[in-house]
Amino acid sequence: MEFPKFLLGDNTDYPTAIFVVHTEFPRFIINLEDDEVEWLEEFSKEDEKELEEEAENLIKAATAFYDREVSRYED
């Protein structure tokens, strides 16, 4: 099965949280309520440096995805 790069998620146990799931490497879930990121990968020391450089771009892309999705509901 193929998944989109980003998925929206919610959970009634966290009524104010909005989750965006990044399904490609490096996989992560970000809670847009507080910008907390949970990485679903384990990284070597070498990967951590590259991840630091790419993390900001990935989080911006996740936020842009959310904004795009919400704007589609508003139309």
Of the chain, the end-to-end C-alpha distance in Å amounts to: 30
Mean pLDDT of the region 36-64 = 89
CA distance 27 to 70: 22
Q: What's the domain range around 41?
A: 6-74
Residue 29: what pLDDT? 97
In a domain, 49, yes or no: yes
In a domain, 1, yes or no: no
Q: What is the mean pLDDT of the chain?
A: 92
Tens-place pLDDT, residues 2-27: 999 999 999 999 999 999 999 998 99
Residue 13: what pLDDT? 97
In a domain, 47, yes or no: yes
In a domain, 58, yes or no: yes
Confidence band for 47, pLDDT divided at 50, 70 and 90? confident
The one-letter code for the residue type at 72 is R
Examine the pLDDT at 75 and tell me if it is beyond 80: no
Place of tokens 């704007």: 71
Closest CA to 57 of 8, 10, 24, 16: 24
